[in-house]
Amino acid sequence: MSASFNYKHLYYFWVVAKEGGISRAADKLDMAVQTVSAQVRELERTLGCELLKPAGRGLTLTDAGMAAMQQADAIFQLGEELPSRVRDAMSAPVIRLRLGISDGLPKLVVHRLLSSIATEPQLHLLCHEGNFNDLLGDLALHKLDAVISDRPAPLNPNMKLYSHGLGSSHMAWYGTSALMKSTKRRFPDCLNELPMLLPTSHTASRDRIDTWLEQRGIRPRIVGEFEDSALLKTFGASGMGVFPVAEWVHEELIAHYAVKRMGPCEGVTEHFFAVGTEKKVQHPLVQRLLKASS
């Protein structure tokens, strides 16, 4: 970086880009609009390219601006972590683990997957739930140590990501006693009569569940679709409909929700992965997760 580069200019640009306009950024920074504008122009002069361009009443990033924004995100993310890192260094040793949790992953499964590290006395666990692709972007920018998901990372020549298996589980159908008593048909034919709750198509298991239903001639009466697995189980426990769940968490499911197992979803398996940026995992707690699953 040249000696003329100024990180304050980069910071002002970063705020302008996040706020979508110089006026809003000036309000956030408690500075004059002209001052913020001048700082951004100075950064553009230093870099030799335009970073922002008009878009309606606001501003949008140019291609160069998007590249600069990615770097600024990484830089200021590290800056935000500095106080806690310093405090950690001054106190007892801490093992920090930053995990991205794919939003379609059952929460009971996540709890089970992380049980091998939950008792670590030096653990400082940071869990960020979100869209799988968004989490992979954060992983590539080293904002996360690993992403826990129900699918492996897709092949992408621009991002070197490695998927490590954490285990798998067959799926089964569950419902309340009242729903099960409301039909005289045996499983799985009863699924033609009963209302059904399903995960949305963003989960890896949805296509397999749809195929299973089609192969058995079941025309489901779908009354709800959920991105959040905990919400699906909550509505299922209220009697809104029957629903499929990984049998891996059968005991926890029965203990926490007033439901019973109806029958198996034969051939439908849910897989779990830890996605990282290293072929050979270095983080000691992610290593422990993989060892516990082997």
Model pLDDT for residues 176-220, shown as the tens digit of each residue: 999 999 999 999 999 999 999 999 988 889 999 999 999 999 999
Which pTM does this prediction carry? 0.66
Is residue 250 packed enough to be buried (19+ CB in 10 Å), middle (13-18) or exposed (0-12)?
A: middle
Q: Are residues 143 and 284 in the same domain?
A: yes
CATH number assigned to the domain comprising residue 59: 1.10.10.10
Asked if pLDDT for residue 2 goes beyond 60, the answer is no
What would the pLDDT profile of 243-275 be if each residue is shown by its tens digit? 999 999 999 899 889 899 999 999 999 999 999
The model's confidence at residue 141, banded by pLDDT at 50, 70 and 90, is confident
User: What CATH number does residue 244 fall under?
Assistant: 3.40.190.10
Q: Which amino acid, one-letter code, is at 131?
A: N
Quick one: 152 and 201 in the same domain?
Answer: no
Whose CA is closest to 122, among 84, 95, 145? 95
Vertex 64: Cα angle to 59 and 65 (nearest 5): 35
CA distance 157 to 5: 31
Instruction: For 39-96, write each residue's pLDDT tens digit.
Output: 999 999 988 999 988 887 778 889 998 998 888 888 888 888 888 777 766 666 678 8
Q: Which of 97, 82, 95 is nearest to 128 (CA)?
A: 97
Q: Please say which residue of 75, 93, 109 terminates a domain.
A: 75
Q: Which domain holds residue 120?
A: 77-167+273-293
Report the chain's mean pLDDT, rounded to a whole number.
89
pLDDT at residue 142 above 90? no
Within a domain: residue 250? yes
Total structural domains in the chain? 3
